[in-house]
Amino acid sequence: MEALVKLSFYCFAAASIAFSASAVSYLAYAVGRVRLRQTALATSAGTTYVTRSAALEPGWTGAGRFGTMLAWFGVVFQGVSIALRTAAAGHLPLSNMYEFSSSFIFLMGLVYLLFERSYGVRQLGAVVLPITVGMIVYVWSLPVGLREVNALIPALQNRPLMTAHVSLAILAYAAFAVAFAAAVLYLVAVRRSVAWLPSPELLDDLGYRAVTVGFPAMALVLILGSVWAYQAWGTYWNWDPKETAALFTWLVYGVYLHTRSLRGWRGNRSAVVLLVGFAAVIFTYYGNYFFGGLHAYGGV
Amino acid sequence: MAQVSTPTAPARRARRSLPDLVVDRLWRFFCSVRIAIWEIAILALLVLIGTLRGSSVPQTVADAVPALAPLVERWYAWDVFHSLPFMVMLGLLSVAIAIGGMINRAPGIWQAIAHPTVATTHGFLRNAEASATLAAPAPPDVLADRMTDALRAAHYRVLTEERNGEIHLYADRFRFAKLGTFPFHLALILILVGGIVGARWGFRETEFIVPEGSVRGLGYGTGLSVRLDNFSDTYQENGQPRGFRSDLTILEDGEEVKRGVATVNRPLTFGDTVFYQSGFGQAVVLRITDARGQVLWDDAAPLDFVSSVNPDAPAAVIELPPAKIKLHVIAPDSNRGNAPEQDPLGLASGTMYFLPRPLGPDGPIGDAPGVVGRVGEVSEVAGLNVEFLRERRFTSLQVGRNPGIPIFVVASLMLVGGLAVTFYFPHRRVRGIVAAAPGGGSAATIVPLARRDWSAQRAFDRLSGEIEARLGLPLSRRRSPAEGPASATSRG
Ligand code: HEM
């Protein structure tokens, strides 16, 4: 058991390296190459003027492919890490911030790669993978004690509900991260005519599709959370800060959907709502640091 | 407005009456999409304000901008989620959902499902963002039939109409998914209804305490009482609790009706009343008689208070109305981490401190002295005989009856189902015209109804590819309205 936990941690370390390298590759791919041009002009007087200019050029496609491959490595290592930990603990690793964030890293990578496949767009990785790496840095900064497997306190022992509630939350956050990335790229793509970025229409649509995954998942998170609260504490809604933060997030995406479907918002304004939505996601995710309340005992 | 209320006959005929006008205004208010979005946004804002109230954020604001301190003070004091503005917003939103989101939309949505407009115009096809044109040597009606077959093979419903020798065509897929918005929005209202029903017709007792071996009545007009047969708690090696368990017997009007176990997360249910394990503590079993031998108390008393002299000492208060005395029972310091001298009463384990106090204004005793009682012994306390029989434990249960739960469950299913249908079965629509081509034969042009919708356009590309493959006819595609007139695309 000890060995499994250790091995799981080594896999996480390997995934960390793969994801970080992947983030670098994606960035290199999306930002493109900077080419310095030097023009020399000789005048009749015999002097030479030299002008230098920098131009952005499409990135090396190999870097993009490399990013994808490394991201898959990361996802596989992280998946193995989670599987080993599941074997060691006898339940999915979702009970403290270390475990929760590990699963988040895994799902964010996977959801992103699936979107990348279905839309054939690699540049998004330049936003999603750095977020993943940020998450990895956060996990490394957590107290080492959280890496050990501890038995659950009684209120967390409702396996099926807890697993569904928490893994759907992670899925929703991962989808919202992809939507956020699409919004960021959109805002870049319409401001600078960076020829090799995907078309703004595609990015706009991709953001919407990601929300159509995240929004129902988040609805289920709220519902299952209240069913669980009902079983554990006897009330299905406590107005607990973590609950209301999640509700707030959900409502922001509700505004996003309405402005699109009813007022025909696309593009810029939609993208800005997505940025607000993702800020709400982060706020909900790290809510434990702001609040006490029922959700605080997962151990940071 | 003055004119409206002036009772002159012509004015009344020309303008609508005041109630009419008010109803009309209200209706339009609730149908307004813009207002609906604002309502959701304001609700979100209120939720955010209420959420932040539980955090240190307002304090940070006050520290940064001292001028805002009084406002922050009020922020912390404001119980947003039980406030009038919040309730009003929920009410407004429910009415808006019912009127603007459902009633007002229903006829239009039904029309689009059952009787969509088939006829279109060449101008519409020309201005579409994308289109596909097929040419065939056959006459228009033959091509239209073949197009219809191909669209049906792609699971589209096809409607056609003949106009001036041209065949107009409308095809769609997943039309019934448009109805998904109704269960979804209705569910939002039902969740609120469930909450109101639960609050109005249910009850919740947060601290229902039953000592081991004792029976306690639940109240709330249920006629139920509960006996705790056994309580057990288990711990892990590091001292973290592993589980708590109460073996309970439920009695209805004194008759045993159910036996069962309540643990954390697995409550015991009887009918629609649910018993949750929420806590436990120490209890003492006492038998108290007065000087004449009359029994005043013969039961367990939960030590569910703490002593005012030592917050680590559990305590109980037993009221004995016949003697006009209330007896305070204080246990030894229960915190093993404390040094013994921290217990001001210096009680050893197996002892209790009995402190009599007058009950009511005409209680017989003043500040009578306390007595230390030992388990198994009888002590005399203010003229009463207090026999300390044994120590026990009590369980603390939460008991609730919530008739809103079934509503909540149904609403949840409707919500998730409605969302899934809305998002994953998007209504796809195609319009087209099949007309005779100038050079003989015929041409069919179809366009997607997908303004600024990348996924729908991609679905259209797939569809036109399927039609092309199925009919084996050359197909030309056009993107974006700016590029050339429609006629340029049809190959003769
Ligand atoms: C003010 C009250 C509301 C009104 C009047 C309203 C109205 C509508 C209408 C008319 C539609 C379009 C349905 C259609 O024609 O296909 C819609 C879609 C939708 N509404 Fe609402 N709604 C309200 C509140 C809410 C709330 C509170 C939420 C949840 C946060 C919500 C979530 C949605 C979703 C997810 C869609 C589907 C959007 C899409 O298809 O992309 N609505 N709403």
ipTM entry:
0.83
Domains of chain A, residue spans: 1-32+55-151, 154-300
Which pLDDT does position A195 carry in this prediction?
62
DSSP character at residue A59: P
Q: What is the mean pLDDT of residues A277-281?
A: 94
Q: What is the C-alpha radius of gyration for chain A, rounded to an integer number of angstroms?
A: 22
CA of B185 to the centre of ligand 1 (A): 7
B89 ligand 1 Cβ < 6 A: no
Measuring CA to CA, which residue among A50, A52, A54 is closest to residue A35?
A54
Atom of ligand 1 nearest to the CA of B37: 1
Cα–Cα dist B389/B377, whole Å: 7
Burial tier of B27 (Cβ tally within 10 Å: 0-12, 13-18, 19+): middle
B413 close to A (CB below 8 A):
no
Give the three-class secondary structure for B224: strand
Give the residue with greater pLDDT, A161 vs A287.
A161
Whole-angstrom CA distances from B154 to B43, B368, B460, B465 are: 43, 93, 11, 11
Using the predicted structure, report yes or no on whether residue B112 has a pLDDT greater than 60. yes
Q: Which residue of chain B has the CA closest to A204? A: B454
Cα–Cα dist B97/B317, whole Å: 53
Give the three-class secondary structure for A42: strand
B266 contacts A154? CB cut-off 8 A:
no
B96 ligand 1 Cβ < 6 A: yes
Which pLDDT does position A270 carry in this prediction?
87
A254 ligand 1 Cβ < 6 A: yes
CA atoms within 13 A on the CB side of A256: 32
Which residue's CA is the nearest one to ligand 1's atom 23? B97
pLDDT tens for residues B169-208?
A: 999 999 999 999 999 999 999 999 988 888 888 888 888 9
Mean pLDDT of chain A: 83
A248 contacts B48? CB cut-off 8 A:
yes
Give the three-class secondary structure for A34: strand
Q: What is the mean pLDDT of residues B72-77?
A: 83
Question: A30-39, A223-232, A279-288, B414-423: which has the highest mean pLDDT?
Answer: B414-423
pLDDT tens for residues A51-97?
A: 666 666 666 777 888 999 999 999 999 999 999 988 887 777 777 78
Residue with tokens 């299905």: A236
B419 contacts A219? CB cut-off 8 A:
yes
Residues of A in contact with B31 (CB under 8 A): none
Cα–Cα dist B386/B378, whole Å: 5
pLDDT tens for residues B83-95?
A: 899 999 999 999 9
Cβ neighbour number for residue A214 with a 10 Å cutoff: 27
Cα–Cα dist B455/A211, whole Å: 14
Cα–Cα dist B245/B280, whole Å: 10
Cα–Cα dist B376/A281, whole Å: 60
B97 ligand 1 Cβ < 6 A: yes
A223 contacts B81? CB cut-off 8 A:
no
Pick the CATH number of A1-32+55-151 from 3.30.1490, 1.10.443, 1.20.120, 2.30.30: 1.20.120
Q: What is the mean pLDDT of residues A149-157?
A: 58
pTM, two decimal places: 0.79
Q: Name the pairing type of β-strands B384-401 and B273-289.
A: antiparallel
A151 ligand 1 Cβ < 6 A: no
B416 contacts A251? CB cut-off 8 A:
no
